[in-house]
Structures are given as C-alpha cells and as structure tokens.
Structure 1
Amino acid sequence: MASLSIRNAVKRFGAVEVIKNVSLDLNDGEFLVLLGASGCGKSTLLNMIAGLENITEGEIRIGDRVVNDVHPKDRDIAMVFQSYALYPNMTVEKNIAFGLEMRGIPKEERNKLVSEVATMLQIDHLLDRKPAQLSGGQRQRVAMGRALVRRPEIFLFDEPLSNLDAKLRLEMRTEIKRLHKELNATIVYVTHDQIEAMTLADRIAILKDGIVQQYATPAEIYNKPTNVFIASLVGSPPMNFLNARLETVDDDVVAHVPLTKDPDGQKLDLSLKGYDSDLSAYIGKEVIIGIRPENISYTEEPVKDGHEVVQGEVDVVEPTGADTLCHIKWGINSVLARINNRIDVAIGDKFNCAIDMKRTNVFDKKTETRI
C-alpha cells in the first residue's frame, strides 16, 4: 500500500473551476472518505487521483511518485464503481481474473489469487455464475473482488453502495470495514451518505463547490464542525440552530436567545461558561448557537455541571424505536430532542429540557464559521 498526497489541486472544464486548490494528505493504510452533495466535486477529485481526469494545476503523489502525467493503468490503483462495471458474458471467476490475465499473470497464480479473494468475500460458491444470476450485493462483492485481487497501492471506491437497499448497504459497509482492517489497505471512498462516512473513515474531507470545508477525523467533524454547513450536514437528525446575542452576566458569557419577535421581549439565557474557545471578541454581537438533538434530554430535576434546564412545549412526537424524537417549542424557536423511548411524552406536554452546554457549538453570524 502507499500514501497519497494532493497539493493545491485545481480542475477546470473550460472556464468552470470545479476543484479549487485542494490539498490533502493520506497516510499508508488510512481510509479517506470524500463526502458531499451531488455536484460538489468529490467524484471529479477521485477521477483525478485515478488518472481518468487530467489535473489542471497542482500535484498528485502516490507514494514517492508524482502521477500527474502517469497513465491510469500505470498508477497501480484499483477502482470500484457505483455501476459495478462487470462483464455480463463472463463468469464471476473470469470477471475477477480478467485484470490479472491482461497483465500476463500465469494461470496457476491467477487461480490461487481468485480463490483467496472469493473466499475472503464469501462468493467462492458463485464463481461459475454470470452477473445476471447474482443479486445486487453479490455483484458488488464481485466488483470488489476484481479490485482486491490486484493488490494495488490504493483502492478507489466511487459510491459503491448507492444502488443497494438499506439492509445490504449496512452489510456491505461492515464488509468494507472488515476488509480494510484485514488488508491494511489505503482507501479513498466517495459518498454522499454521512453515515457511511462516519462509520468507515479514518479521516473525512467534506467538499462544497469544489472546496474542502473541513478535513479531520469523524469525531472532530462531529464535535467541532468548522462551519454551519458541516454542522447541518453531519449528524442525524441534524443540529439545532438558534440565533442569539452574547453578553456577560456576573463574569459569565451568556447567550440571549429571543423567545418573541419583539426585540425587547422575553429571552432565554444559556450559559456558555466552559466553552472551548475565547468568546470575548463576540460580546454584544449576534451569533448562532448549535445544539445537537442528543444533547437535549428530559429531566424532572434541575441539572448542574454544564447542563442548562429550559422548559418548552412538545409540538410533534416521532417514535423511531430505540429513541423518540421530540419537536419542542421554545417561544418562536423550535428544537429537536432525541430522548429515551421509555419516556412517555405527548403533544402539548410541558417538557423540561436539560441541555449539555459543554457540547454546544457557537458560530459567527456573518461568516457561519465556528468560533
């Protein structure tokens, strides 16, 4: 396996710049996920790594080699596509072995490698079948087998699970995670599914309009999103956002959240004591407070140690099985709380919200970047 380094990469199609000065480093054996909505540039960046798209400016390095001008077949990469791209007239065995045959690998060695990979992917009983006789999950395993059998320096996955149903996606996600651990493979994986990104990645690069918004571990992206865009993209259900004004009260920084449309009306005061960044430059200014639904819980007693207690009214109840999602009105604001399913709530109930303020995020109102 090999490391990957991307330096100031730019891609233009005519006058349109779709990849804008992207720089990323991936260590040998790491799993990188490129995450973003359709059209953000993630597949284009993957194709640039593969050599299927030329790089306009910058540098792409695989291991010790700069590969800007290296043909795709000479980059020692293997790609797994969304469409599987299997040969319909070939058996599973021949589909997996085809690349090895083209490279002149002797038949005996080919058979050994195909057998090892087929056993690893649990498709050894399907080797005589053709793709039309396989399920979607089985086809995806064959596509992965064709990539794995080559033992490339880097594996590239382009939304490989998007054509599968929810149950199969979960199974294949687990399979990919297991294979990464077993092979210690260097993987670059494109998806628009934030659950896939969070569960698979060592590091995630979130793209928007061809720009990397944040490049970090899943935990860092979840707990300290760089901006409002990332905070709303990562997390299910998404983060709650409240407009507020910061003031100091008895040496404490407090977020005044309006509960009415009247500027002089009632306000909710949330203490930000213990926030992990200095807020002194924002005293007297408008900010956005971000609170994740799982950081709002129900309480019958006042809670201390970083928790604020706010009373609201239940507006909508959504049972999801393990949890219950409660939409709660705080004056003109509506927040979503994820609570234990054993708590009995109904529309119109008063609801004491215990907010874990230590996990709150504060964003600049104008730039929407995390303070």
Structure 2
Amino acid sequence: MASLTIKNAVKRYGTVEVLKDVSIDLQDGEFLVLLGASGCGKSTLLNMIAGLESVTGGEIMIGDRVINDVHPKDRDIAMVFQSYALYPNMTVAKNIAFGLEMRGIQKAERQKAVEGVAEMLQISHLLDRKPAQLSGGQRQRVAMGRALVRRPEVFLFDEPLSNLDAKLRLEMRTEIKRLHKELSATMVYVTHDQIEALTLADRIAILKDGSVQQLASPTEIYNKPANIFVAGLVGSPPMNFIPATLVEKDGITHARLSLNKDTDNDVIDLSLANNDADITEYGGKEVVLGLRPEMITYVNGADVNGQQTILSNVDVVEPTGADTLCFLKWGKHDVMARVSSAIDVGSGDQLAFSIDMSRASLFDPQTEERI
C-alpha cells in the first residue's frame, strides 16, 4: 500500500473550472471519503486519481511518484464502479481473475488468489455462476473481489452501493469496513450518502462547487462543522439554524433569541459559559446559532445538569422507531428536536425542552464560517 497526495489539483473543461485548488494528503492505509452533492466534483477528482481524467493543474502522487501523465494501467490502482462493470459472458471466477490474466500471472497463482479473495468475501459458492445469476449484493462482492485480487497500492470506490437496497447497503458497508481493517489498505470512496461517509471514513473531504469545504474526521465534521454548508449537509435530520445576538449578562455571554413573531420584546437568553467558541469579537453582534436536534430534548428525558430549558409548543410529531422527532415553535422560529420514543408527546402539547448549549455551533451570518 502507499500514501496518496493531491497538491493544488485543478480541473477545467474549457473555461469551466470543475475542481479548484484541491489539496489532500492521505496517509498509507487511510480511508478517505469524498462527500458532496451531485456536480460538486468528487467523481471528477476520483477519475483524475484513476487516470480516467487528465489533470489541468497541480500534482497527484502515489507514494513519491507523480502520476499525472502515467497511464491508468501503470498506476497500480483498482477501481470499484457503481455499475459493477462485470463481463456477462464470464463466470465469477473468470471475472475476478481477468485482471491477473491480462498481467500475465500464471494460472495456478491466479486460481489461488481468486479462491482466497472469494473466501474473504464469502462468495466461494458462486465462482461458477455468471453475473446474470447473481443478486445486486453478490455482483458488488464480485466487483470488489476483482479489485482486491490485484492487491493494488490504492483502492478507489465510485458510489459502489448506490444501486443496492437499504438492507444490502448496510451489509456492504459493514463488509467494506471489515475489509479495510483486514487489509490496512489505502482507500478513496466517493458518495453522496452522509451515513456511508460517517460510518466508513477515517477522514471526510466535503466538496462544494469544486472546493474542499472541510477535511477532518467524521467526529470533528459532525460536532464542529467548518461552515453552515457543512453543518447542513452532515446530520440527519439536519442542524437547526437560528438567528441570535450575543449579549453580556452577569459577566457571561449569552445567545439572545427573539421568540415573538412581531416584536423583539419576547426574548430568551441562552448561556454560552460552557461553549468553547471564540466569541471575543462578536459581542453585541448577530450570529447564527446551530443546534442539532439531539441537543434539544424533553427535559424529563435528559440530563439537565447545567442545561437550560425553553417552554415549547409541539407543532408536528414524527415517530422514527428508536426516537421521535418533534417540530417545535419557538415564536417565529421552526425548530426540530429529538426525544426518546418512550416519551409520550403529541401535536399541540406544550413542554419544557432542555437545550445543551455546550455543544452548540456559532456561525458568522456574513461569511457563514464557524466562529
């Protein structure tokens, strides 16, 4: 395996700049997920690493070797596609072994390698079948087997699970996670599914309009998003964004929320005493307060030590199984809360909800960057 370095990568189609000065340093054995909406440039970047797209500017390196002008077959990478790309006239065994055969590997060695990968992926009983006789999940395992059997320096995955149903996606996520742990392989994985990103990645690179918005661990991206775009993209249900003003009370900075639809007289002040945001330059200024739904919960079902409460009207209730989502009215603001399914709550109820301000995010309303 090897490290992967992307230095100031640029991709243009004519005058259209699809990737803008992208720099990512991936360590040997690290699992990187490229996350973003369609058209953000993530698949283009993956194809540039694979050699399927040319590099307009910057460098891409595997180990200490610059591969900008290296032919795809000489890059020592393996790619797993969304469409599986299996040969329909070949058996599973021949599909897996095809790349080895093209590289001149002897038959006995090919057979041994295929059997080893098939056992790892639990598809040994399928080796004599053809792709048409396989389910979607089985086909994806074969596609992964074809990549794994080569033992390349870098594995590339282009939305490999998007054609599978929810249950199979969960199973295959677990399988990919297990394989990464077993192989200690360097992997780059493209997806628009935030759950895949959060569960699989060592680090996530979030792209928007060809630029990296944040490159960090899943925990950091979820708890400390770099800007409003990242905060809104990652998290299901999404983060609540509420206009607030920072005010000083008894020597402590508070986020002041206006709860009245028509006037600013009805306000609530939420203490930021336990929040680590650098707010020294924002006294008296407007900010955007970011609260994830799980930071707002029913007071009887929460540890309220040091937390604050808001008496809230419940507008809509959505049971999700383990949790219940409550859509609240905080005056002129619509806010989503997450409570335990054991809590008996219904539309029209008025309840006290606890607010965990220690985990709140604050954003500059002009730049939309995290404070």
Give runs of aligned pairs for residues 42-61 of structure 1, distance below 5 A: 42-61=42-61
Deviation string for 1:74-119 (max 9, x for gaps)?
0000000000000011010000000000000000000000000001
Do residues 199 (structure 1) and 208 (structure 2) align?
A: no
Q: Secondary structure at the match of 1:155?
A: strand
Q: Secondary structure at the match of 1:281?
A: coil
Q: Distance in 2 between matches of 1:361 and 1:309?
A: 18
> Under a length normalisation based on structure 2, what TM-score does the superposition of the two structures give?
0.98
Q: Secondary structure at the match of 1:187?
A: strand
In structure 2, the partner of 1:226 is 226
- Give the C-alpha shift of residue 261 in structure 1: 3.6
Do residues 14 (structure 1) and 14 (structure 2) align?
A: yes
Q: Distance in 2 between matches of 1:107 and 1:278?
A: 63
| 1:306–1:358 Cα contact (<8 Å) kept | no
Do residues 150 (structure 1) and 175 (structure 2) align?
A: no
Do residues 97 (structure 1) and 97 (structure 2) align?
A: yes
Deviation string for 1:293-332 (max 9, x for gaps)?
1111111499754411111011111111111111111111
Do residues 260 (structure 1) and 238 (structure 2) align?
A: no
| 2:304–2:354 Cα contact (<8 Å) kept | no
Bigger mean CA offset, 334-343 vs 97-106: 334-343
Q: Distance in 1 between matches of 2:278 and 2:34?
A: 31
Do residues 276 (structure 1) and 256 (structure 2) align?
A: no
In structure 1, the partner of 2:138 is 138
- Give the C-alpha shift of residue 256 in structure 1: 1.1
Bigger mean CA offset, 17-26 vs 259-268: 259-268
In structure 1, the partner of 2:292 is 292
Q: Secondary structure at the match of 1:269?
A: strand
Q: 1:2 to 1:302 in 2, by over 3 A?
A: closer
Q: Give the partner amino acid of 1:284.
A: G
In structure 2, the partner of 1:161 is 161
| 1:298–1:354 Cα contact (<8 Å) kept | yes
Q: 1:34 to 1:303 in 2, by over 3 A?
A: closer
Number of aligned positions between the proteins = 371
Q: Give the partner amino acid of 1:60.
A: I
Bigger mean CA offset, 289-298 vs 274-283: 274-283
In structure 2, the partner of 1:209 is 209
| 1:303–1:309 Cα contact (<8 Å) kept | no
Q: Distance in 1 between matches of 2:25 and 2:38?
A: 23
- Give the C-alpha shift of residue 262 in structure 1: 3.4
What stretches of structure 2 of length at least 5 have no aligned partner?
none
In structure 1, the partner of 2:179 is 179
| 1:306–1:357 Cα contact (<8 Å) kept | no
Q: Distance in 2 between matches of 1:215 and 1:282?
A: 26
- Give the C-alpha shift of residue 247 in structure 1: 1.0
In structure 2, the partner of 1:126 is 126
- Give the C-alpha shift of residue 264 in structure 1: 3.4
Deviation string for 1:10-49 (max 9, x for gaps)?
0001100000000001100010000000000000000000
Do residues 319 (structure 1) and 351 (structure 2) align?
A: no
Bigger mean CA offset, 209-218 vs 240-249: 240-249
Q: Distance in 2 between matches of 1:304 and 1:314?
A: 20
Q: Distance in 2 between matches of 1:336 and 1:297?
A: 10
Bigger mean CA offset, 272-281 vs 134-143: 272-281
Deviation string for 1:179-227 (max 9, x for gaps)?
0000011000000000000000000000000000000000000000000
Do residues 242 (structure 1) and 242 (structure 2) align?
A: yes
Q: Distance in 2 between matches of 1:48 and 1:289?
A: 38
> Under a length normalisation based on structure 1, what TM-score does the superposition of the two structures give?
0.98
| 2:261–2:331 Cα contact (<8 Å) kept | no
Q: Distance in 1 between matches of 2:323 and 2:357?
A: 21
Q: Give the partner amino acid of 2:62.
A: I
Taking only the aligned residue pairs, the percentage that are identical comes to 72
Do residues 355 (structure 1) and 355 (structure 2) align?
A: yes
- Give the C-alpha shift of residue 274 in structure 1: 2.2
Q: Distance in 2 between matches of 1:228 and 1:294?
A: 18
Q: Distance in 1 between matches of 2:303 and 2:145?
A: 53
Q: Secondary structure at the match of 1:280?
A: coil
Q: Secondary structure at the match of 1:60?
A: strand
Q: Distance in 2 between matches of 1:36 and 1:317?
A: 29
Q: Distance in 2 between matches of 1:263 and 1:314?
A: 22
Q: Runs of at least 4 residues of structure 1 off by over 6 A? A: none
Q: Secondary structure at the match of 2:229?
A: helix
